[in-house]
Chains A and B, each alone.
Chain A
C-alpha cells in the first residue's frame, strides 16, 4: 500500500544522472548539492549560458523544496526528517531534467495545483510581465520569494512545468515535478 517511492526514483534515473538526493533538504545539504553540480558542469566544460541556466533553475527547484516541504508521513517508510524531499538532476541527450518529489497533505494540494496550472497557462510575455508585477508590487514573504520561484523557472527554461500527483494514503499525496532545460 502507499506510494512506491523506489519505483518513482527508478523512473527518474533515465539518462546520465548527475545528482540524486533523497532525504532532509537542509541548508547544508543544499550547499553540498550545489557544489556537486557546479563541479560537474565545470568539468563537462558546459557552455556558460547552459551552465548558468541549469545552476540557477536547480537553485530554485531545491530551495522550493526547502521552503515548502515538511516531515513525511509515517506511512511513507522513509526517514522522518524535518524536510523530506527528493531531487534528481539528469542529462538526457540534448536537455537537462530536474525532477523533484515530496509528500504533500491532500488539503494543501489544490493551492499548488492551481498555482502551477496558472503559471503553465501563461505565454512567455505574460510570464515576464507578471514576474515584474509581483517583483515590483508585492511585499516580501517570510520565505523571501513572494511566489516568484515557479514563474522564474518557467521564464528561464521557456518550458512548462510537468507535474504528477500520486495517491499515498488518506492524508497525503506524492507530488512529482519535472523541469526541462533545453
Chain B
C-alpha cells in the first residue's frame, strides 16, 4: 500500500496514511469549504487498505479546529475503519484534545457513541 502524506494548510489538516506501518494520523485544522473534495481520496485509500489491512491499525486524531462539513467526512473515515475492525483486525483510535477544550472533548464523545471501535480520549496539557 502506498503511503499518502498531505502537509497541513490553513484550512486542511496534516494527514498520514501509512499502509506499511498501519498508522493513520490526522492533525491540525480541518475547515475547508468543500470537505468532501479533500477527504474523498483519503476515504478511497481506506477502501483499498481495508481489502488487505495489517493485523493492527493505529489511528491518531489531533485536531485543533474542524467544521461541521468535515465532521461527516471524519465519521466516514471512522466507518471505513469500523469495517476493518469488524472483519477481525485490531483498530484503535486515539482522540487527542487540549485540557480546556470541552468542544473537542464532546466531539470525541460523539464519535465514540456512534462508532464501535476501541476509542481512547487523550487529554493534552496546553
Contact = CB atoms under 8 A, between A and B. Distances in A.
Contacts of A136: 75, 113-114
B72 A144 contact: yes
Given A31-B10, A55-B65, A56-B65, A49 B71 contact: no
B36 to A, nearest CB: 5
A27 interface: yes
The A contact surface, by secondary structure, is: helix
Contacts of B106: 128
Interface residues of A, number: 32
A132 interface: yes
Interface in B43-70: 64-65, 67-70
Contact of A30 (B33, B100, B102, B104): B33
A18 interface: no
A48 B10 contact: no
A34 B33 CA distance: 13
Contact of A144 (B11, B36, B64, B113): B36
Given A148-B71, A148-B72, 15 more contacts: A27-B33, A47-B100, A48-B100, A49-B100, A53-B103, A55-B65, A59-B67, A67-B33, A135-B114, A140-B36, A144-B36, A144-B68, A144-B73, A145-B68, A149-B68
